[in-house]
Amino acid sequence: MDIKHYRKKFKENNLRLTKSREAMIEVLDNQHLTFKDIQRGLAKKGFYNVSTIYNNLDFLIKNKIVVELYINDTKFYDLAMDNPMHSADSHIHIMIKDTNEITEINSPEIFEYIQKHPFFKDLDLESIRITISAQRKKK
C-alpha cells in the first residue's frame, strides 16, 4: 500500500485526507473487516474515537473509496479505490466457510457476460455485486 497514491487521489478529487482517514485506509488495506476489526486496528494506531470512525467510514463509503459488503448477515468493509480486484460498484466475493475467510476474484468477463443477457438490453447496469459461499472439497 502506498499512502502517497491515496493522498494524490484525494487531492485530485478535492477530498480531505485527515490522519484518521489515512489510518483507516491503512487498516483496511488488503482485508475485509468488520467494524470491530477496524476499531481494533485503529486503536493500535492511537485512534479511539468511535464517532470519528463512524463519520470517516461514512465519508469513505459516500466517496466510493470503501464499500460495504453483507456476507452471512455480517457487514464487512473493503477498500474499493484502486483495488486491483474490483471497483466500488462491481465485485465478486467468496466466503470460504471452513475458515470464515473472505476473498475476491477479478473476472471482468463475468460482468460482461451478465451485461449481455437479453434482459438488460434496455438497461444500464449500475452495479453487479456477487457473493459466493464455498467449502473446501473433501479429499
Question: Does residue 78 belong to the site contacting Zn ion (CB under 5 A)?
Answer: yes
| CA dihedral of residues 57, 45, 48, 6 (deg, nearest 10) | -20
From 5-13, 35-43, 74-82, 112-120, span contacting Zn ion (CB under 5 A): 74-82
Give the DSSP letter of residue 45.
T
From 15-23, 50-58, 78-86, 110-118, span contacting Zn ion (CB under 5 A): 78-86
Q: 63 near 21, Cβ under 8 Å?
A: no
Measured from the CB atom, the residue of 52 and 128 that comes closer to Zn ion is: 128
Question: Does residue 89 belong to the site contacting Zn ion (CB under 5 A)?
Answer: no
Measured from the CB atom, the residue of 31 and 39 that comes closer to Zn ion is: 31
Of positions 31, 104, 110, 114, contacts Zn ion by CB under 5 A: 104
DSSP letters spanning 99-138: TTEEEEE--HHHHHHHHTSGGGTT-----EEEEEEE-PPP
Measured from the CB atom, the residue of 101 and 120 that comes closer to Zn ion is: 101
Cell matching residue 77: 468493509
Q: Which residues bind Zn ion (CB under 5 A)?
A: 78, 104
